[in-house]
Chain A
Amino acid sequence: MRKIETLEMVNISKSFQGKFANQGINLKINSGEILGLLGENGAGKTTLMNILYGLYQPDSGEIKINGKNVRITSPIDSIQQGIGMVHQHFMLIQNHSVIENIALGYYKTPFFFPKIRIHEKVVEFSRKFSFAIEPYKKVWQLSAGEQQRVEIIKALLNGADLLILDEPTSVLTPQEIKELFRILNDMKNEGHMIILISHKLDEIMDICDRVTVLQKGKIAGHADTAGMDKKSLARMMIGRDVLFNVNREPLPKGEQVLKVSNLHVLGDKGISAVKDVSFDVFANEIFGIAGVAGNGQKELAEAITGIRPVRSGTVFAGLKNITNMSPRKIYDHGVSHVPEERIKFGIAPGLFLYDNAILKQHHLKKFSRKMFLEYGRIKNHTRDLVDSYNVAAHSIEVQIRNLSGGNIQKLILGREISEKPSLLVASHPTYGLDVGATEYLREQLLKRRREGGAVLLFSEDLDEIFELCDRIAVMFQGEFTGILDSSDSEKLSDIGLMMAGSVRY
């Protein structure tokens, strides 16, 4: 028997520090339906779903299941009501097996011999939805797609009729996405209801029956996907038209600024993460590296910028061999770096804006005399950066942690390109930023290209790669499955297969 036939959220509001994350939101979903929840980063999608899942309490508003008011004060309540959630970052214990992870999240796990019961259940579910899953593998041995299936089983096992998926495709290859959508469709036909949180228009169009669009915490509209096209959805989402194509004027190839030859790098677990990678980057060029996260991009970027040791092979910046130099020396040789996870690597959160503005440059002559820092010049430089890169901040004397992600990223980018490096290594520079900040940052990268700089761009966002890059390398399991020219549309149509390692050029 279904616990949920219909679910309604009525007039939900929630604010943080006086700012509305959700304001007067209404939403309805029926059994056998896939509802897309679309919106930019920061539009309030995740907040809304966390309210439904019991992680947050709304300031006002009601949740109705089958027409009756319910109170959901914790995830335990919501699980008992038949709601399951698959978070964007999987809540799995890496060193435990699939079975153990499922047992941990199952509220009816027997005290004695839990694995036997769970094993039956896992087999039953994987047959029902024709999953391929090995119950005794450790989670860290699974691909992202497989881990996601474990999360889905966890939810279904607890009797979830409504499944919430938060950005489920962000870590999957195109092939894995297809498989996920097949599973979701099967579940829909079984009578489950699914809410899919996404900011990717294609996915919403592909799989959802209806879509609810959020913009700045408010409902921007509801629609049936059947009657919509991508353009009008995009307009609904950001309130104006988006440029799907930026004009990237052709430029003559400049001189070689980076040459990587037969590079081998180890990952954190001591396993080879970059295998025999060779490529070069020229001035006036944006060289993109596409691929699903975890295929060695992070290690490659860190090896080039000196954070991670190179095992074998060479890296040349211009004519200078920079292999295994310290990050500071590499920076001094004209290679700067916008790191991925900007908060984790790019800033010292408790220090002031102006301290962070010189994070990699405090040793330069312009900011220090002998051993002393020249705070006068540093502050002037910071004011220039804040002005020229549109960083919104009350003052340069605030802790940088108080800035939004987009403004932090603008400051980092400004810091890294203000010295006009010959090469900028940019790892996921627009990840998690809103459309405005994203457009701005992309424009800055293109400007750098026009000015004669080179950019090595790591991104999981294919739109970004296509929009910006002159040449594109695809990385899979530590190797390049090909380097393509961005004009080679025939081969580029296979990029999904290249990302999955099944096609090589």
Chain B
Amino acid sequence: MFKLTVYDRETITPLRSLMTNIGSVVAALFVISIVFLLCGVNPVYAIGKIFAGSFGSMYGFKETVTKAIPLILTGAGLTLAFRAKFWNIGAEGQILMGALMGTWVGLTWGSVLPSFLLIPLMFVAGFLGGALLGLIPAILKIKFSINEVISTLMLNYICAELITMLIVGPWKGNTRFGFPGTNNLSEAALLSVIPGSRIHYGTLMLAIVAVVILSIIVYRTRFGYEVRVIGENSEAGKYAGIDFFRTTLVIMVISGGLAGIAGIGELAGIHHYLGYPASISSGYGFTAIIVAWLAKLNPMYVLVSALFFAGILVGGDAIQISLGLPGATVQIVNGILLVFLIMGDYFLKHRVVVGFSNREHLTK
């Protein structure tokens, strides 16, 4: 009979960490292949197509970078929340809230303020929007012990419906021929892009700066230390006299705020008006959860993992078009990848030895 023995690994080298992640992705691709086979598609061809579509062409790569921008910002914010074991599933709503606040600023002052004032103002408004939305579950958790998974998740729907209400009601634009959506923001409110692409480089730079600052915060500051202690052992945090309320509030201001900035990028860089919530953020807030996880909650690695998942999103679009697969295929691919990455994490932290039991020896 098989016998599995599990040991804790004493040390985890960066190389092992990398190899485990690659192994997880390979194993996931294997299972994804089965899904493609069930759809009647040659898996090698389909997977090749995903990566060819996202990284194999200049057009595809530009799209990949474009989609990586919100994933970097949101994913980096989530690494901080997850590190403190605050399960923020509400990044999607925080992105939307950022976009909503940005729209408000853009519509109100769009024709008054010059670009160099308006755009920073929109980013600040977006940050505040996401941050304020993030504060709600933080306060509910610390003061009333309400599970943050539920509250952050439910706030997503509230935000989405709030936007829907605004775009069919008070904010409905008169240039939309009766379709829901606000009017386009004024020229001054739009982010410039790298010519020939949709890469709104201003947000991209903000995202990279955010990643660097977050890394410093987590590994070099007192606040980051407190976040790591709380996440490792909240009882020890209490014993060490860490102020949970204050720390959690700051975590969620940063995590929600970065998602809000991502919302501004999508609004002012891509769409230029506030439309249906599903078009403003097509699930970036959820994909960012996987991004943060694949990055092992290290903000620096988010740059890589965000690019990877942006590639899958773009490649998914490509196979939808070229192979006629349903849109849900990409979500299946993402889901399988997440499951395997989490499993890989277990094997990274533990050593599992398969052996044969020596029961025969006992009963001889």
**Which of the residues A306, A345, A351, A372 comes within 8 Å of B235, measured between beta carbons?**
A345
CB neighbours (8 Å) of B220 from chain A are: 372-373, 375
Q: Which residue of B lies closest to A327 (CB)?
A: B241
Known contacts being A58-B362, A402-B10, is A328 close to B225, with CB within 8 Å? no
- Mask of B203-226 contacts with A, CB within 8 angstroms, 1/0: 000000000000000001111011
Closest chain-B Cβ to A145's Cβ sits at a distance in Å of 29
CB neighbours (8 Å) of A355 from chain B are: 225, 228-229
Known contacts being A60-B358, A71-B359, is A337 close to B239, with CB within 8 Å? yes
**Which of the residues B8, B226, B239, B361 comes within 8 Å of A327, measured between beta carbons?**
B239
Interface check B363, CB cutoff 8 A: yes
Contact check, B229 vs A344: say whether CB atoms are below 8 A apart: no
CB neighbours (8 Å) of B221 from chain A are: 371-373
Contact check, B235 vs A344: say whether CB atoms are below 8 A apart: yes
- Mask of A381-405 contacts with B, CB within 8 angstroms, 1/0: 0000000000000000011011000
**Chain B binding surface, main DSSP class:** helix
**Which of the residues B8, B222, B229, B238 comes within 8 Å of A373, measured between beta carbons?**
B222
**Which of the residues A71, A326, A372 comes within 8 Å of B363, measured between beta carbons?**
A71
- Mask of A212-235 contacts with B, CB within 8 angstroms, 1/0: 000000000000000000000000
Q: Which residue of A lies closest to B221 (CB)?
A: A371
Contact check, A351 vs B240: say whether CB atoms are below 8 A apart: no
CB neighbours (8 Å) of B233 from chain A are: 344-345, 347-349
Interface check A363, CB cutoff 8 A: yes
**Which of the residues A71, A345, A371, A401 comes within 8 Å of B222, measured between beta carbons?**
A371
Interface check B346, CB cutoff 8 A: no
A325 to B185, alpha carbons, bound, how many Å?
A: 52
Most chain A CB neighbours (cut-off 10 Å) among B11, B237, B241: B241
A402 to B8, alpha carbons, bound, how many Å?
A: 9
CB neighbours (8 Å) of A344 from chain B are: 233, 235-236
Interface check B174, CB cutoff 8 A: no
A373 to B219, alpha carbons, bound, how many Å?
A: 9
Interface check A331, CB cutoff 8 A: yes
Closest chain-B Cβ to A72's Cβ sits at a distance in Å of 9
CB neighbours (8 Å) of B10 from chain A are: 398-399, 402
Q: Which residue of B lies closest to A332 (CB)?
A: B241
> How many residues from B make CB contacts under 8 Å with A?
31
A344 to B237, alpha carbons, bound, how many Å?
A: 10
Contact check, B357 vs A360: say whether CB atoms are below 8 A apart: no
Contact check, B236 vs A69: say whether CB atoms are below 8 A apart: no
Contact check, A71 vs B240: say whether CB atoms are below 8 A apart: no
Contact check, B235 vs A401: say whether CB atoms are below 8 A apart: no
Known contacts being A359-B236, A359-B240, is A398 close to B359, with CB within 8 Å? no
Closest chain-B Cβ to A339's Cβ sits at a distance in Å of 6
Contact check, B228 vs A372: say whether CB atoms are below 8 A apart: no
CB neighbours (8 Å) of B240 from chain A are: 327-328, 359-360
Interface check B59, CB cutoff 8 A: no
Contact check, A69 vs B222: say whether CB atoms are below 8 A apart: no
Interface check B232, CB cutoff 8 A: yes
Closest chain-A Cβ to B209's Cβ sits at a distance in Å of 18
Contact check, B358 vs A373: say whether CB atoms are below 8 A apart: no
Closest chain-A Cβ to B187's Cβ sits at a distance in Å of 40
A350 to B226, alpha carbons, bound, how many Å?
A: 13
Q: Which residue of A lies closest to B12 (CB)?
A: A399
Question: For chain B residues 8-32, which have a beta carbon within 8 Å of chain A?
Answer: 8, 10-11
Closest chain-B Cβ to A52's Cβ sits at a distance in Å of 13
Q: Which residue of B lies closest to A395 (CB)?
A: B11
Question: For chain A residues 328-373, which have a beta carbon within 8 Å of chain B?
Answer: 328-331, 337, 339, 344-351, 355, 359-360, 362-363, 368, 371-373
Question: For chain A residues 4-32, which have a beta carbon within 8 Å of chain B?
Answer: 16-17
A329 to B240, alpha carbons, bound, how many Å?
A: 10
A-B contact pairs, 19 of them (CB 8 A): A57-B3, A58-B362, A307-B238, A326-B241, A327-B240, A328-B241, A328-B242, A349-B232, A350-B232, A351-B228, A355-B228, A360-B240, A362-B226, A371-B221, A373-B221, A375-B220, A398-B11, A402-B10, A402-B11
What 6 A-B pairs are tightest by C-beta distance, nearest first?
A328-B241, A327-B241, A348-B232, A348-B233, A350-B232, A348-B229
